[in-house]
Chains A and B, each alone.
Chain A
C-alpha cells in the first residue's frame, strides 16, 4: 500500500510539474489571460480567434455592448490557424490562459469532440442548447456528442467557387462572362484546359492559379468522404477521390499552370497585387481575404464564377467556451447572439463569411458584391452550399491536409516526382499520427 501511495504522489507531482512547464510555454505565446471581475457587476469577456472572423470588422462587438452595457469584449487573434491550434492545445493541457470564448476550425472539431470534450462547456447547461438548431444539419451534428451535449456554436461554412481576374482574362483573349466561364470549367479537366489556353496567350511569368495546394484542397473539399470514413477509419491512402484530386493537381504543375506559391505566406500575399495568377480556388471567406490583400486598387478587376462541380466546402468555424471560463453564462449569451441569423447575414454582407444558418442563407440569395463586378455572390455560393455533401470529419483532417499540400509544394518547387511526393505525404502522416 505505501508504495502505491508513493507512486501516486510521484505521478501527481510529475503531472503538476508538466502542467507548470506547459503553462510557461503557454504564457510565452502572449494571449490575453482570463477575464477580470469587476466589483460593480461589469463583465469582461475575452475572445480568442484565428484568421479573420470579422466580428470586430463588422462592428458586432460595439453593437452588442450597446444592448449589454455591463459587458466589455476583448478579442485577440492569430493569423495562422496552425499556430493558433498549437497554442490552444498548450493552454488546454495546462488549464490556464484560455479565453472565455475560443474559435475552432472545422478540421479540428472531430479531434476536440473525441479527445477534449470534457474541457468545453456543454452549451445546454448554460441556456444555449438551441444555438445550432437552425443550422445546416451536418454543421450542427459535428459538435453534438453521442450523449447529446452541444459543445460549440457554428459560425460560417466555406462553399467553393472560382475567383478570377477579368483584366488578365481580357488581355489574354479569354471570355470574362461568369456563365460562359462556369460552363467552360464545369469539370476540373475543363479548368485545366482553359488554363493551358490562358498560359499560351498571357504574358510570360503569368500563370493560371496560385498553387497546386489550393486546387487540391478545393477538389477534395467536394467529397463526402475525404481522409476518414464514417466509422473513423483512415482512408486517405486509398480513397479514389483523394487520388484523383492528387493526379489533377500534379497535372496542373506539369502543365506549368501553377505560380508555385505557398498559401498563407508573405510571398503569396504579395502576389495578389501582381498579375502572377489569374484564378484562385475561392471559398466564400476568401472574398474578405482578397479584398484585404489586393485592396481598393483592384476593385472591379476581380470576378467570381461557379467552380468545377459547382460545389464543395473548404473551412468554416465554431465558437466554444472552455470550462475554465468564469463567465460561462455571459459567454454563452454572446456566442448565441454572434451566431444568430441576423449577425450571420451581416457577416456575409460585409466580410463574405457564408452563413451556416439556413434562415440566413434564405436572406442573402440576392446579394451582389460591387468589388467583384457586382457578382451575384449570394446566388453563386448558395447554389454551391446547396449541393454540398454532409462531410465526414476525421480527427486527423488538419494534419493530413497539411501533409498533402506540403507534398504538392515539393512537386511544384523542387521538381519531386508526384509518386515520390505521394510517398512523402504518407510518411509524414504516419509520423504525425499517434501510434
Chain B
C-alpha cells in the first residue's frame, strides 16, 4: 500500500529513470517499508483497541455475560457525568497530580543543578538517582505502604517518638493522597533529574563563565542561565508528567491493595475508577466510557500545554 502513494518525479532527467524504473520506485518506497512495522503494530495494538473501546462504550456489556452487547447509545457517558464518584476521581487525579508533579519537577531541577557541578563520585550519584525508576511499582508501593502503616508504620513511630499524634495515612483524605504522591515523587524525581541534566549539559559553558565574570552568584546563574536554557526540556517533562498523572494507577491500586482507592474513595484516581468499573464490578461498557473520557482529557491537556508553549515562544521573540 505504501508503493501506491509514491508519485513519479517531475524531474526532466528522464533517461536514467527510464532505464531502471523499478529500482527507483523501490528506493522511494523503502522509507515507508521501514516505517510499516511500527504502523502495523500501532494499528493492531493502538488504533484498533482505541476504536473498539469506543464501540464497547456505546453498549451495555457485563464481563460475566460478555457475549451479549446491548446498544445503549451515550447512556454510559451521561451516567458517568451524573456519577459523583467520577467527579471525585477526577478531583483526586488533579490533586494527586499536583501533589506529586510539582515537588517532583522542582526537586528534579535542583538535583540536576547540583549534579551538574564537578562532584566526586558523580557517576555514582547519577546512577543512584535512577534506581527508584528501575524499581517495580509494586515493590516500591508495598514498601511505602509499610512505612505509612497506621499502627506499626515507621513514619507514625517517628511522629510519636517526637511527641506528635500519629496520622492515619490510609483513611484520612489528605494524608492518604500525600502518601500516594510520595511514592510517585520518589519514583520519578531521579528520572526527570537526568533529563534536566542532559538538557543542562547542552547549555554552552561560556554562558556560565561570562555570567560568573559579571559577578552572578550560583543561584543567579541557575535562575538566569539554566532555567531559560532548559525551557524546552521543562515543557517536555511537564507534558509527560501531566499525562503520567492523568493515568496514575499502580501506586493508588497497591497502596492498600484494592480498586476502591480507600474506604471513602479518597484517593481513587480516574485510572482506578475505570479499573473498578471494569474488573471489580464487571461493567465493561462503563469502563470503556471512562477510558474514552480519559483519552479526551489527555488530548485536551496536551493541546493546552502545546498552546501555552507556543504562546511563550511567540512572546519571547
Residues of A within 8 A of B (CB): 11, 14-15, 17-19, 21-22, 25, 80, 82, 86, 89-90, 92-93, 111, 115-116, 261-262, 265-267, 270-271, 276, 399, 406-407, 409-410, 413-414, 416, 424, 427, 431-432, 434
Say yes or no: A410 contacts B52, CB within 8 Å.
no
Q: How many contacts between A and B, using CB within 8 angstroms? A: 87
Q: CB distance B281 to A399 under 8 Å? A: yes
User: In the complex, are the beta carbons of B55 and A266 less than 8 A apart?
Assistant: no
Which residues of B sit under 8 angstroms from A21, Cβ to Cβ? 49
Name B152's contact: one of A111, A270, A407 (CB within 8 Å). Answer: A270
Question: Chain B residues near A413 (CB, 8 Å)?
Answer: 168, 170-171, 263
CB distance from B283 to the nearest CB of A (A): 7
Quick check: is B264 within 8 A (CB to CB) of the other chain? yes
The answer to whether B264 and A434 touch across the interface, beta carbons within 8 angstroms, is: no
CA distance A5 to B283 in the complex (A): 28
Given A14-B52, A414-B171: A90 and B151 interface contact (C-beta under 8 Å)? no
When distances are taken between beta carbons in the complex, the residues of chain A under 8 Å from B168 are 413-414
Which B residues lie within 8 Å of A271 (CB)?
A: 151
Q: How far is the CB of A205 from chain B (nearest CB, A)?
A: 10
CB contacts (< 8 Å) of A111 on chain B: these are 64
B229 within 8 A of A: no
> Would B171 and A431 count as touching, CB distance under 8 A?
no
Q: Map CB proximity to A onto B45-73 as digits: 1 under 8 Å, 0 otherwise.
A: 00011001001100000111111010000
Contact with A86, one of B85, B171, B279 (Cβ below 8 angstroms): B279
Contact with A along B64-97 (1 / 0, CB 8 A): 1111010000000000000111000000000000
Q: Which residue on A lies nearest to B280, using beta carbons?
A: A86
Q: Which of A25, A266, A276, A432 contacts B149 (CB 8 A)?
A: A266
Residues of A within 8 A of B172 (CB): 414
Given A14-B55, A17-B52, A270-B152, CB of A410 within 8 Å of CB of B171: yes
Q: Cβ of B258: which chain A residues have Cβ within 8 Å of it?
A: 82
Smallest CB gap from A118: residue in B: B65
Is the CB of B295 closer than 8 A to any CB of chain A? no
For the complex, what is the distance from the CA of A266 to the CA of B151, rounded to whole Å? 10
Asked if B126 is at the interface (CB within 8 A of a chain A CB), the reply is no
- CB of B74, distance to nearest CB on chain A (Å): 16
Which of B170, B173, B281 contacts A431 (CB under 8 A)? B281
Query: Which residues B121-163 have CB closer than 8 A to chain A?
Result: 146, 149-152
Q: Which residues of B contact A409 (CB under 8 A)?
A: 171, 263
Sample of 20 further A-B pairs with CB below 8 A, known A18-B284, A80-B257: A14-B69, A17-B49, A25-B279, A82-B280, A93-B63, A93-B66, A261-B151, A270-B151, A406-B260, A406-B263, A410-B263, A413-B168, A413-B170, A414-B168, A414-B264, A416-B264, A427-B85, A431-B281, A432-B280, A432-B281
Chain B residues in 8 Å Cβ range of A14: 52, 55-56, 69
Q: List the 4 closest A-B pairs by CB distance, nearest first.
A: A413-B171, A409-B263, A115-B64, A432-B281
Interface of A is mostly: helix
Cβ–Cβ contact A267 & B149, under 8 A:
yes
CA distance A399 to B85 in the complex (A): 16
**A22 with B66: CB separation less than 8 A:** yes
Q: Are A15 and B85 in contact (CB under 8 A)?
A: no
The answer to whether A116 and B63 touch across the interface, beta carbons within 8 angstroms, is: no
Alpha-carbon separation in the docked complex, A342 to B143 (Å): 44
- Complex CA gap A90/B282 in Å reads 9
- Minimum CB–CB distance from A232 to chain B (whole Å) comes to 16
Enumerate chain A residues within 8 angstroms of B170, measured Cβ to Cβ.
262, 413
Check B84–A410 contact: CB distance below 8 A. Answer: no
- Residues in A whose Cβ lies below 8 Å from that of B67: 15
A432 to B83, CA, bound (A): 12
A17 to B69, CA, bound (A): 14
**With a CB–CB cut-off of 8 A, which chain A residues contact B260?**
406
Residues on B with beta carbons closer than 8 Å to the beta carbon of A424: 264
Complex Cα gap A89–B172 (Å): 32
Which residues on A sit within 8 Å (CB–CB) of B66?
A: 15, 18-19, 22, 93
Query: Can you name the residue of chain A whose Cβ is closest to the Cβ of B68?
Result: A15
Cross-chain contact A92 with B171 (CB below 8 angstroms): no
Do the beta carbons of B263 and A115 come within 8 Å of each other? no
Known: A14-B52, A409-B263, A434-B283. A93 touches B84 (CB 8 A): no
**Measured CA separation A22–B279 after assembly (Å):** 10
From A261, which residue of chain B is reached at the shortest CB distance?
A: B151
* Between-chain CB contacts (< 8 Å), 13 pairs: A14-B56, A14-B69, A21-B49, A82-B258, A90-B279, A265-B256, A267-B152, A276-B151, A413-B168, A414-B171, A427-B85, A431-B281, A432-B280
C-alpha spacing A262/B149, complex, angstroms: 12
Q: Contact partner of A115 among B65, B173, B284, CB < 8 A?
A: B65
Contact A89 B171 (CB under 8 A): no
Q: Give Cα distance in the complex from A432 to B65, angstroms.
A: 16
* Alpha-carbon distance A38/B66, docked complex (angstroms): 34
A88 to nearest B CB, angstroms?
10
Query: Are A93 and B64 interface neighbours, CB within 8 A?
Result: yes
Give the CA-CA distance A434 to B67 in the complex, in Å.
16
Contact with A along B280-295 (1 / 0, CB 8 A): 1111100000000000
A296 and B87 CA atoms in complex are apart in Å by: 49
* Cβ contacts under 8 Å, A261 to chain B: 151
Chain B nearest CB from A30 CB (Å) reads 12
A82-B258, A267-B150 as given contacts; A431 in contact with B64, CB under 8 Å: no
Interface string of B243-262 (1 = CB under 8 A from A): 00000000000001110100
In the complex, what residues of B have CB within 8 A of residue A25's CB? 279
Chain B positions within 8 Å of A86 at CB level? 279-280
Contact A89 B64 (CB under 8 A): yes
Question: Given the complex of chains A and B, what is the CA–CA distance between A116 and B218 in angstroms?
Answer: 69
A92 to chain B: which residues have CB within 8 Å?
64
CB-based nearest A residue for B279: A86
Residues from chain B with Cβ under 8 Å of A265 in the complex: 256-257
Contact assessment for A434 and B62 in the assembled complex, using a CB-CB cutoff below 8 Å: yes
Q: Which residue of B lies closest to A85 (CB)?
A: B280
Residues from chain B with a CB closer than 8 A to the CB of A410 are: 171, 263-264
Residues of A within 8 A of B279 (CB): 25, 86, 89-90
Contacts of B63 in A (CB 8 A): 22, 89-90, 93
Given A86-B279, A413-B168, A17-B48 contact (CB < 8 Å): yes
* A91 CB → nearest B CB, Å: 11
Contacts of B283 in A (CB 8 A): 434
Q: Which residues of A contact B151 (CB under 8 A)?
A: 261, 267, 270-271, 276
List the B side residues contacting A270 at CB < 8 Å.
151-152
Cβ of B306 to closest chain A Cβ, rounded Å? 31
Chain A: CB-nearest residue to B263: A409
